[in-house]
Each structure stands twice: as C-alpha cells, then as structure tokens.
Amino acid sequence: MSDYLIIGAGVIGMLTARELAQSGADVTLVDMHNCAQEASWAGGGIVSPLYPWRYSDPVTALATWSQTSYIHLAQQLLEETGLDPELRQKGMFMVGVDDAEEALDWGRRYQKPMEKVGADFIYQKEPGLAPGLDTALWMPEVASIRNPRLGRSLRRSMEITPNINLIEQARVEELLVDHYAVTGVRLADRVLQGDKVIIAAGAWSSELLAPLEVKLPVEPVKGQMMLFKAPVGLINRVVLMQGRYLIPRNDGRILVGSTLERVGFDKQTTAEAKTSLYQTALDICPELERYELEHHWAGLRPGSPEGVPYIGAVPEYDNLYLNAGHFRNGLVLAPASTRLLADILLDRQPVINPHPYALHGRV
C-alpha cells in the first residue's frame, strides 16, 4: 500500500507525485494511457492565462505563484533528467484588445509588467507580423513552455524517483469504498491501495466521482490546434489576437490555437477548424503561408465554472482528494495547484488560501 495513490499522470498528477515524493512519501501514480498524453500534451504552453485580467482572483493567485516557480522548476528538471522543457521567456503581444484600460488597471493592481505599445515597438520586436497593427498590449515577462517536452521530463523524473511507482496503460474501473472511506482503486487486473487517493484525471475526473454520487462540474471542452514547420526567428514571441494565438518554439516551429468546442469526449479534428486556424495563422503572420503545415490535433480540456479548479478534500468521503478543473490553464496553474494540494495533504501552511478551490460549497 502506498501513502498516496494518484489517478491521472498528466502534468498535474506528475507534479503532485513529485511534491509528495520529495516529502518522503511513497506514491503510486496510475494513468489510463501514457504520462501527459491528454490535455498536457495537446495544449500550447503559454505560462499565463489568455487575457489574464478577465479571470477571477483565485485564478490570478495560482497563476502568479506558478509563473515565478516555473524558472526554478524547468532548471531543476533539466539538471535532474537531462531533458529540457524549453521554457522561453520572450514576452507576449496582445493585439486588438477592446478593454485595454481595464487590462492596464489590472496590471498596476497586481504589479504585473504590462504596457500599451505602438507600431514601431511591435514591428521592431516582430517584423514578420501582419502589416497595419497600430497598438498592442505588451507583457514582457510572459513565458511559454514546450508542454510535450515538459511531459517527457516529468515522466523521466517519475521513473528515476525510487519512492514513485508509475503505472501506465491501466484504466481505473472503480474507486473502492469502505464506509465512506476510499481505500484504493480497481484496475482490470489488480487492486491498488493507498492511504489517501487523489483524482487528477482532468476531463475524466467527474466520471470517476459519479458512482460515489459526487457531482463535479467538470466537463470536456475540445480544443483543436495546428503546427507549422517554420524557420527559427519568423516570430519569437507569443502573439494573441481575437482569442487565438501563435506560439514559437526554439526550433522555429509555430503553434496556432485554439478552438473551444463542447462536444463531449469527441477528439476528432475537423476540416472547418483546420480552415479557421489556418486563416488565423495567416492573419497574424502572413509569411506562414510559405511553410509546411506539419500537424493538426485536438485535446480535451477539463472545463469548470469560471476556470477555477477544484483542489482539496472531497466532502463526505475520507481519504479522497481532488486536483482537477483547470480548464484552459492547466499548465499555467500546475505548479501552484500541486503545491497547494501537497500543503493540504502534508498539513503544511498553504502557499495560497485554499478556500476558493474547495469542492464544498461550490457544488
């Protein structure tokens, strides 16, 4: 029996395992696929909520803590595993923002570097952007991380940590309950037990809780994205326009995303989204038309009310905890949300006030 049994080995689950293992606990981590192959792999990796001033204070609190910790985390993982998560600290342009004054007020209130810049500044930084841009909001401290490589680095960390038992390709068939105490899970071929059980299964978390008559308002929200094989330097910074974005990687590749589709657990890509995303890419950076469209995929975000995740104990059940519902900001919020849950589990002083994320009182 492990001290902690974690269901879901995305970035949230793996970082939770890492936090708990570093305290000396024995951790079992189980996933129905391989590590970080769902939303953690499919996302873009911008280390900021899109239009961050439009989110509530609980999201901002998690994002702020995470943004400052990612530099250290990326360095640690590279040294520990030899696999670079590719954290890029290049900043983000936001073009065509209607509520720019609210954004600037938010930046001053939260001491977030943000300024309104003109065409000269924009094209000096990014000459490959579409002509005719007059102004933009500029956030120089926004970073991006290459999420598939972050996933690989974290998976390697799980493999080399002796007190983490990683089990992949193993679907949880049911939670095992004894007098309102969750004692473990049943797989197809065995039973796993843990003193405490943590659900970090993203969009699938509500399905796991449903047999316990726990209603978790987390639903799958599909997002489709595409990747261009572009040369290094075509664009160097994240660019956000009309809710869509371009994200450059170190090797020159550029991601364009993303759609928001409430179609259940359907992960099929569509021709309509492909056409729309392609046009978005060219609207932002016309020269992308010259380069190969390398990949088109879809992932399922764990949608939740206002994008505020559920972190902490599940009411009415002993030993059962939750870290799910990060919606579009799983990678953004992961370091803070996993640290917060570890603080709760290890009875430490929480780094952030835990009450806004509690399941009790929100459902």
Domain at 53, CATH number:
3.50.50.60
Mean pLDDT of 161-175: 97
Number of separate domains in the chain:
1
Could you tell me the pTM of the whole model?
Answer: 0.96
Q: 103 in a domain, yes or no?
A: no
Considering the domain boundaries, does residue 203 fall inside one? yes
Mean pLDDT of 139-148: 97
Q: Which two tokens stand for residue 204?
A: 């699938």
Among residues 348, 317, 308, 356, the alpha carbon closest in space to that of 20 is found at 348
Q: Does residue 118 register a pLDDT over 90? A: yes
Q: Is the pLDDT confidence value at 293 over 80?
A: yes
In this structure, which amino acid lies at residue 174?
E
**What would the two tokens of residue 3 be?**
């001290």
Q: Are 104 and 136 in contact (CB under 8 A)?
A: no
**Pure H helices in the chain:** 11-22, 39-42, 57-81, 100-109, 119-125, 147-160, 205-209, 271-284, 330-345
Helix (H, G, I), strand (E, B) or coil at 352: coil
pLDDT at 34: 97
> Is residue 296 a part of any domain in this protein?
no
- Across the range 162-191, mean pLDDT stands at 96
Q: For residue 260, is pLDDT > 80?
A: yes
> Is a pLDDT exceeding 70 seen at residue 140?
yes
- Res 235 pLDDT > 80: yes
Q: What pLDDT score was predicted for residue 57?
A: 96
Taking only the tens place, the pLDDT of each residue in 278-289 is 999 999 999 999
Structural domain including 148 reads: 1-90+143-218+305-363
Query: Is residue 148 in a domain?
Result: yes
Q: Is the pLDDT of residue 361 over 80?
A: no
Identify whether 125 is part of a domain.
no
The first and second tokens of residue 326, run together, are 């990060």
271 in a structural domain: no
What pLDDT, on the 0 to 100 scale, is given for residue 357? 97
- Residue 195's Cβ-count burial label (10 Å; 0-12, 13-18, 19+) is middle
**How many Å apart are CA 315 and CA 324, to the nearest integer?**
15
Supply the pLDDT for residue 111. 94
115 is a domain residue: no
Whole-number pLDDT of residue 363: 60
Question: 213 and 363 in contact (C-beta within 8 Å)?
Answer: no
Sheet holding 115-118, edge to edge: 115-118, 135-139, 92-95, 238-241, 244-248, 254-257, 219-229, 292-303
Give Cα separations from 300 to 260, 314, 319, 324 (angstroms). 10, 23, 28, 13
In a domain, residue 263? The reply is: no
pLDDT at residue 9, as a whole number: 98
